[in-house]
Amino acid sequence: MHSASNFQGVKVAIKWLYEESGTVDRLATRVADWEASDDVQSILVLGCAGDGWTPAAIDPLLTGAGKPIWGGLFPRIICYGQHHEHGFIMLGLPNEPDGLVIPQLSSATTDFAAALTPVADRWTSGETDAGMTDTATFMILVDGLSRRIGDLVEQLFMQLGLRHHFFGGGAGSLNQSGAPCLLTPGGMLADAALVVRLPLASGVGVAHGWSPISDSFRVTESRHNIIHTLDWSPAAEIYHAQVQAHNGHQIERASFADWAKAYPFGINKWDSEEVVRDPIAETADGGLVCVGDVPKGSFVRIMTGSPTALIAAAGQARQRAEQSHPSPVSPPAVALLMDCISRALFLESRFTDELHAAAGPQDLMGAATLGEIASSGSDYLEFFNKTAVVTYLYPC
């Protein structure tokens, strides 16, 4: 079973479909259909990690396709107000994006500045080799379980600045660290990042709905995504005490993940909502492993939320997306949601309520991600956790 449609705009028509069957053979059939269409010059794919695509099975399709394919595999995909653990979404663009692949995202030797500078000069000069105008939106997909995502995002901001809109998130599986999860014209990759410049204007909205339950703690020792100490005490010790004081229950190490989905960290920001960080495990020495970097010297608070607050925040993200384009076309060419998989786990059966709040009157598609990446052109580019990012794409 599948559904298909076109999003129409003044200068762009974007084809899309949802396919319930998540086999590589079914993807190959759909790609072949669109390769025969002059209306499609490139393809974006949002697939499910649970379908078990491997480089051996899919690389011949990716490298042999007549039109470039970009995308990722996620814990779930989102379409028509529902979320699915199998199947894929395809978007067919009428022009070819300009894309960059950055391998070895976790390596300490990977030089993000060197990788980005040549394309950043082209992308910010007003015209690219593909003839794109200066109005564009950047889609950033990363292996969500890689280290140094924060370093990459910081360098993207340094190279490309505030005037662009960004959206994207972390691909991968909740239980398959190291498995390839990114789709590129050169094949399927793990521990990498895709930076794809789409020739579309956009509106981007970000909101999370979590509220603090503690005072601020200084991160006195950390390395990348591991908080070792807060105010010079073991981070896990502080975390346990604060959560227990809030709900009256003792946290056992074996049940840490069950508690953590309801009690993230918030990194304090002077002029915006806290940036949320998901603690996912404890280390042997009392540290906490998070999804995403937590810089030494930053201040964090422990947060919690309610289903009502999170669902309302998804609606707020939609409203911010509507407002962030200076002269929006109605309806948008495409409406996309990157929503953290941990929100789905927290909301359980009410996650569909969040999807409807994020959609409003639009048909909405997207993915449940391992972290989200976004900037509306006025805020600092960030890697988020437990956050809803709504993106409206418009014709330039």
Q: What is the pLDDT of residues 40-58, one digit of tens each?
A: 999 999 999 999 999 999 9
Model confidence band, residue 7 (pLDDT cutoffs 50, 70, 90): very low
pLDDT at 126 (0 to 100) = 56
Mean pLDDT computed over every residue of the chain: 88
pTM: 0.90
Could you tell me the CA-to-CA distances from 233 to 214, 294, 299 in Å, in that order?
Answer: 16, 16, 14
pLDDT at 13 over 90: no
pLDDT at 333 (0 to 100) = 76
Express the helix, strand and coil content of the chain in percent, nearest 5 each.
Answer: 25, 35, 35
Tokens in use for 248? 């009256």
pLDDT at 377 (0 to 100) = 63
CA distance 295 to 219: 7
Closest alpha carbon to 44 in 12, 18, 21, 72: 72
Shared-domain flag, residues 324 and 245? no
Helix axes 24-35, 55-64, angle to 10 degrees: 0
pLDDT at 129 (0 to 100) = 42
Q: What percent of the chain has pLDDT over 70?
A: 90
Query: What amino acid is encoded at 138 in this protein?
Result: F
Q: What average pLDDT does the segment 236-252 reach?
A: 88
CA distance 132 to 126: 8
Residue with the bigger pLDDT between 367 and 394: it is 367
Q: What average pLDDT does the segment 196-224 reach?
A: 93
Q: What average pLDDT does the segment 303-323 reach?
A: 94
CA distance 98 to 132: 9
pLDDT at 1 over 50: no
Residue with the bigger pLDDT between 11 and 311: it is 311
CA distance 199 to 208: 28
Shared-domain flag, residues 184 and 276? no
| Per-residue pLDDT tens over the stretch 269-278 | 866 678 999 8
Q: What average pLDDT does the segment 170-197 reach?
A: 93
For CA atoms 195, 196, 198, 199, the dihedral sign is positive
Strongest mean pLDDT among 80-89, 167-176, 257-266: 80-89
Domain termination site, one of 273, 304, 335 = 304
Could you tell me if 352 and 344 are in contact, meaning their C-beta atoms sit under 8 angstroms apart?
no
Model confidence band, residue 161 (pLDDT cutoffs 50, 70, 90): confident
pLDDT at 329 over 70: no
Exposed e or buried b per residue across 146-177, where buried means at least 16 C-beta atoms within 10 angstroms of its C-beta: bbbbbbbbbbbbebbeeebbbbbbbbbbbeee
Closest alpha carbon to 87 in 45, 40, 42, 133: 45
Shared-domain flag, residues 191 and 115? yes
Domains held by the chain: number: 2
Shared-domain flag, residues 300 and 324? no
Model confidence band, residue 247 (pLDDT cutoffs 50, 70, 90): confident
3-state SS, residue 347? helix
Shared-domain flag, residues 76 and 178? yes
Shared-domain flag, residues 56 and 93? yes
Range of the domain at 339: 2-208+309-394
Tokens in use for 3? 């559904």
Helix axes 351-359, 307-324, angle to 10 degrees: 20
